[in-house]
Chains A and B, each alone.
Chain A
Amino acid sequence: MSSLSEIPLAHILFVSTALFFIGMYGLFTRKNLVTLLMAIELMLNSVNINFIAFNKYLYPGKLDGVFFSLFIITIAAAEAAVAIAIIINLYRSHQSIDVDDATEMKY
């Protein structure tokens, strides 16, 4: 506990922001749909870090942030379930999970 509080809040925020934009970079550059899901997961987890850090450092009296991160984890799981079902169906019709192969509709 004491060793954690020696790390300043700004450092943790730096990590979470970097994580968010690494995820965003992955989302924009990768072509494989499962990798895209992983990139989104990275973004959501960086938000979780934000919430927990804010809760612990700034507002330790109430647990709003911790609960919010619990909800984010749950919803991310639901979202991933639906997304993977959609990807499986895409694989059945296109024989591929590469975004470049699913570009029938344009402009």
Chain B
Amino acid sequence: MLMDFFILLKQELVIVAIIFLLLFINLGKDRSNESLLPLINVVLLLNVLLGFFGSKEGSLFGEMFHTGKLIILEKNILNLATWIISLLSFSWLRTHKHVIEFYILLLTALLGMFFMISSGNLLVLYLGLEMSTIPIAAAANFDLAKRKSSEAAMKMIISSAFSSALVLLGISWIYGVSGSLDFSVILLQGPDSPFRIFAFILLVSGFAFKMSAVPFHLWTADVYEGAPVSVTAYLSVVSKASVVFVILAFLYNAGKAFADTWYHILIVLSILSIIIGNLFALRQNNFKRFLAFSSIAQVGFIFIGIAGSSQVSSAAVVYFVLVYVFSNLAAFGVVALVSAVSGKENISDYKAFYTTNPLLSWVLTIAMFSLAGVPPTAGFFGKFFLLMAGAAKGNYWLIGIAALNMVVSFYYYLRVVKTIFMEENSQPIEKLAIPGASRLALYICLAGMLIAGLASCVYDYIYSISFGL
């Protein structure tokens, strides 16, 4: 019994242990960042590796917490992304005064996401949701002296508090009509009253808020622009991926009886997100804002996949998120390096970037190709599987709109590539020294983007452990 507890809660317990380790290091004598950062990165690598051993299916605390193969894989993806972000933020954190606090905030948020993904009860779901947003709002303010950073954190905390109030209203009504908070009880009752449907819509809109789907996206671009690059990367990759996993598990398990309701919600959200995300991405010059709107458009594609509601679609969504982690982190990695050294964050600053930094240019180019979905990269297969999964429902007009929008997205992704390679600039960004940690992270992302698409075993494995409606 006690053994079960340790094995099932393994990933959460490791994170808690790391947080305590960091607290104790903080208590001791002052260490230089040069000695601290490698240590933390190694610990996070161990955390990633430990996630692959000794997994087991089961549930704890009276069904409040449950875990399985797919959930463990999702947590491993989040662990991996956190480790890569930690490597990428090396050059930014090297001179920062509060390294340990930064990691404690990120890991606390990660712990909240783990509980959210594993939740089998609305109370745990809500606690995880809050635990994963409040620390990130604090982390968005991590450049204490910068005006934009505090503005971003303010916008984020107010809008996330508002969205969690909506979620709570939805949960309270679900409790009122069904008398329970367990997914297994809610699951049995269908949309027999408008009250219940409205409660369900409130819950889903709260999730859409955290995923920054249109029309709940207004905070996204501002927060992404103002927050430090590493926090932006964390928000757009880890935080978004965790909510995608949760919404997938929630809709396919607890929302089974509401399949018709959420199917229509998802279609509306996905069309709006794809079109508006694309249109606004066209006119951005700040790189982080550009990536914010591109990630809004990507969320629209994920919704198409979720709407397919079969085993294929759940596999396609998890696979797409894996690929998205690599491609988005590669792009953010380059932006983080450039911004840490030169402070430049505009796309127009990248003119003739290739003449001074060939390696970074290639990484950024492949990342853009992968985000746009050009065939040899994994991004193509990710989007292809998502559209296939959505097409299984037979709504070809939706797939048509999505495919047309992919063409639009080519314009702005390739505009970045054109700026790097083909435009002239008398003062290009100087040659950057890439720290070993960042180099390693960029190579991992590169390998992920190229191999995950061609090695079919990745998708096959995800498919074998996923489940449908």
Within 8 Å of chain B (Cβ to Cβ): is A18? no
Closest to B182 in A: A64
Contact B175 A89 (CB under 8 A): no
Contact B130 A79 (CB under 8 A): yes
> What residues of B have a CB within 8 angstroms of the CB of A72 in the complex?
168
> What residues of B have a CB within 8 angstroms of the CB of A33 in the complex?
154, 158
A46 vs B180: C-alpha distance when bound (angstroms): 19
Which residues of chain A from 18 to 36 have a CB within 8 Å of any chain B CB?
Answer: 20, 23, 27, 33, 36
Q: Which of A40, A68, A99 is the one whose CB lies under 8 Å from B123?
A: A68
Contact B179 A59 (CB under 8 A): yes
Contact A83 B158 (CB under 8 A): yes
> What residues of B have a CB within 8 angstroms of the CB of A44 in the complex?
165, 168
Within 8 Å of chain A (Cβ to Cβ): is B162? yes
Contact A50 B172 (CB under 8 A): yes
Contact segment of B220-228, B262-270, B358-366, B384-392:
B220-228
Q: Which of A50, A64, A71, A79 is the one whose CB lies under 8 Å from B134?
A: A79
Contact B150 A105 (CB under 8 A): no
Which residues of chain B from 130 to 180 have a CB within 8 Å of any chain A CB?
Answer: 130, 134, 137-138, 141, 144-148, 150-155, 157-158, 161-162, 164-165, 168-169, 171-173, 175-176, 179-180
Looking at the assembled complex, report how far the CB atom of B365 sits from the nearest CB atom of chain A, in whole angstroms: 27
Within 8 Å of chain A (Cβ to Cβ): is B442? no
Looking at the assembled complex, report how far the CB atom of A66 sits from the nearest CB atom of chain B, in whole angstroms: 11
Contact A82 B138 (CB under 8 A): yes
Number of A-B contacts (CB under 8 A): 115
Most chain B CB neighbours (cut-off 10 Å) among A33, A37, A51, A64: A64
Q: Which of B137, B145, B161, B176 is the one whose CB lies under 8 Å from A40?
A: B161
Most chain B CB neighbours (cut-off 10 Å) among A40, A47, A103: A47
Contact A40 B158 (CB under 8 A): yes
> What residues of B have a CB within 8 angstroms of the CB of A82 in the complex?
134, 137-138, 157
Contact B172 A54 (CB under 8 A): yes
Which residues of chain B from 196 to 225 have a CB within 8 Å of any chain A CB?
Answer: 221-222, 225
Question: Given A40-B165, A47-B172, do A89 and B144 touch, yes or no (CB 8 Å)?
Answer: yes
Question: Given A68-B175, A82-B134, A104-B148, do A20 and B169 touch, yes or no (CB 8 Å)?
Answer: yes
- Interface mask (A55-79 → B, CB under 8 Å = 1, otherwise 0): 0001100001101100110010011
A64 vs B180: C-alpha distance when bound (angstroms): 7
Within 8 Å of chain A (Cβ to Cβ): is B465? no
Contact B158 A54 (CB under 8 A): no
> What residues of A have a CB within 8 angstroms of the CB of B169 in the complex?
20, 43, 46-47, 50
> What residues of B have a CB within 8 angstroms of the CB of A89 in the complex?
141, 144, 150, 153
Q: Which of A47, A71, A104 is the one whose CB lies under 8 Å from B165?
A: A47
Within 8 Å of chain A (Cβ to Cβ): is B102? no
Closest to A33 in B: B154
A106 vs B155: C-alpha distance when bound (angstroms): 12
Looking at the assembled complex, report how far the CB atom of B244 sits from the nearest CB atom of chain A, in whole angstroms: 23
Closest to B222 in A: A105
Contact A86 B153 (CB under 8 A): yes
Question: Given A79-B157, A82-B157, do A104 and B147 touch, yes or no (CB 8 Å)?
Answer: yes
Question: Given A82-B137, A94-B150, do A67 and B123 touch, yes or no (CB 8 Å)?
Answer: yes
Q: Which of A75, A79, A102 is the one whose CB lies under 8 Å from B151?
A: A102
A102 vs B164: C-alpha distance when bound (angstroms): 23
Looking at the assembled complex, report how far the CB atom of B121 sits from the nearest CB atom of chain A, in whole angstroms: 9
Contact A64 B175 (CB under 8 A): yes
A72 vs B164: C-alpha distance when bound (angstroms): 10
- Interface mask (A93-107 → B, CB under 8 Å = 1, otherwise 0): 110000100111111
Question: Given A20-B169, A65-B175, do A105 and B158 touch, yes or no (CB 8 Å)?
Answer: no
* Pairs of residues from A and B, 4 with the lowest C-beta to C-beta distance, nearest first: A50-B172, A43-B165, A54-B176, A47-B168
- Residues of B bordering A, CB below 8 Å: 123, 126-127, 130, 134, 137-138, 141, 144-148, 150-155, 157-158, 161-162, 164-165, 168-169, 171-173, 175-176, 179-181, 221-222, 225-226, 280
- Some 10 contacts from A to B, beta carbons below 8 A apart, are A43-B165, A68-B123, A68-B126, A71-B123, A71-B126, A86-B154, A104-B148, A104-B151, A105-B221, A107-B221
